[in-house]
Amino acid sequence: MTGDAAARRTLGVGMVGYAFMGRAHSQAWRTVGHFFELPFAPRMAAICGRDHAAVAAAARRLGWAAWETDWKRLVDRDDVELVDVCTPGSSHAEISIAALEAGKHVLCEKPLANTVDEARAMAAAAARAAAVGVRAMVGFNFRRVPAVALAKELIAGGRLGAVRQVRAAYLGAHLVDPEFPLVWRLRAEEAGSGALGDLGAHAVDLAQYLVGDHIAGVSGLTETFVRERPLPEGGGRGPVTVDDAALFIARFGGGAVGSFEATRFATGHAEGLSVEVNGELGSVVWELGSLNQLRVFDATADPATQGFRTVQVTKAGHPYAGAWWPDGHTIGYEHTFTHEARDLLVAIAAGKDPVPSFADGLQVQQVLDAVQRSAAAGSTWTEVAA
């Protein structure tokens, strides 16, 4: 007997941007329906970029059915029901708000925006949209690592008791070479901030998510070690106007304290994101470099054999893991986006607001803003705006 594969109910996706994040999200949209039971099959309707030839090539390469060179046309397309915003932070607000106002669901990459004002406008737009059933989500993808989701389950279930301390870092070494050029990410007007927004945003979101509490105040410092770099277009050097590294200490609303670090000068590290949470009954440690593992300490166990347990979070019963491979087979970085796409589609179908919401993204932005203000004021203690 012979047959042809049938169609299912679909949801049209349009994506703006096709660089690193665009590639990662494309892989998620292509893949999610093959591993998860979904309420809709995502349909990769159209992709948008300013350069005609480049976006056409990207559409072919990444699997999108059509392309646009103007994001407003993409938002307007009838076959686009969800807009996935993968552009640099400076255009997040404009695109996301327009899409929400056009009744399109939005997935927006992190950080939500380059400024708190933009983020606030986006959160307001998301709240208005939610009232009419249109959903918005910000892409803090690492929440969707199975080991992180397991850590969240443990903490939310009380397995750590009251949380006392957090340490979170995102260590990179991208800029150790002083001849690395002055790309847009190193200019404040385009990137907003440096390591702080690019890397620190993830550390802040993860820490707050796991603890289940907000950072209330911070004292921070930022440093730019290499203050001039070669212009990419040639012709000398220009000033680096963002931070190379940002360090801060923090208090959470509920009494926990934390130390945070985001840096592009941690020689030897690549994508060194880690978070540790210490509670009165136990601790958890997670590192992106070994993302399939969670280290768990249970202070209530027999003292003679207490120790950090390295849990391989690849079992069928673990969050997300059952959709993939039998126990012991690892997943990678890209799978976090697939999980994100799955959770967004499920929330849309259920008529619920997905998390992390734009309001969550705004709150992270306010933490980052407090760090920048503290650093600018000589590391003075700075409350995070509510």
Is 102 a binding residue for a copy of itself by CB under 8 A? The answer is no
The conformational region for residue 18 under phi > 0 = left, psi -120 to 50 = alpha, else beta, is alpha
Instruction: Give the interface segment with a copy of itself, choosing from 67-75, 88-96, 101-109, 192-200 (CB under 8 A).
Output: 67-75
Instruction: Give the nearest distance from C-beta 119 to a copy of itself in angstroms.
Output: 25
Comparing CB distances to a copy of itself, the nearer of 124 and 324 is: 324
Q: Which of residues 104-143 bind a copy of itself (CB under 8 A)?
A: none
Size of the residue set binding a copy of itself (CB under 8 A): 111
If one counts every other C-beta atom within 10 angstroms of the C-beta of residue 109, the result is 26
Comparing CB distances to a copy of itself, the nearer of 122 and 186 is: 186
Instruction: Give the interface segment with a copy of itself, choosing from 128-136, 184-192, 299-307, 345-353 (CB under 8 A).
Output: 299-307
Q: With contact defined as beta carbons under 8 Å apart, do 341 and 82 qualify?
A: no
> Among 310, 305, 254, which Cα is nearest to 284's?
310
Query: In Å, how far from its chain's centre is CA 154?
Result: 21
Q: Which of residues 148-207 bind a copy of itself (CB under 8 A)?
A: 150, 154, 160, 164-165, 167, 169, 172-173, 176, 178
Find where tokens 């009744």 sit: 103
Comparing CB distances to a copy of itself, the nearer of 94 and 334 is: 334
Q: Which of residues 208-267 bind a copy of itself (CB under 8 A)?
A: 219-221, 223, 225, 245, 247-249, 251, 255, 257-259, 261, 263, 265-267
Q: With contact defined as beta carbons under 8 Å apart, do 143 and 156 qualify?
A: no
| Three-state secondary structure call for residue 227 | coil
Comparing CB distances to a copy of itself, the nearer of 119 and 182 is: 182
Indicate which single residue of 311, 344, 364, 370 sits in contact with a copy of itself (rule: CB under 8 A): 311
> Among 47, 103, 134, which Cα is nearest to 358's?
134
Comparing CB distances to a copy of itself, the nearer of 101 and 280 is: 280
Instruction: Give the nearest distance from C-beta 285 to a copy of itself in angstroms.
Output: 8
The structure tokens listed for 60 are: 């072919």
Instruction: Give the nearest distance from C-beta 265 to a copy of itself in angstroms.
Output: 5
- Quote the CA–CA distance of 68 and 75 in Å, as a whole number: 10
Instruction: Give the nearest distance from C-beta 185 to a copy of itself in angstroms.
Output: 12
Is 9 a binding residue for a copy of itself by CB under 8 A? The answer is no
Find where tokens 């799978």 sit: 335
Q: Which of residues 326-365 bind a copy of itself (CB under 8 A)?
A: 326-335
If one counts every other C-beta atom within 10 angstroms of the C-beta of residue 17, the result is 24
Q: Regarding beta strands 105-109 and 215-223, do their DSSP bridges make them parallel or antiparallel, or are they unpaired? A: unpaired
Instruction: Give the interface segment with a copy of itself, choosing from 89-97, 131-139, 311-319, 346-354 (CB under 8 A).
Output: 311-319
Cα–Cα distances (Å) from 4 to 7, 10, 33, 99, 154, in that order, read 10, 18, 18, 36, 44
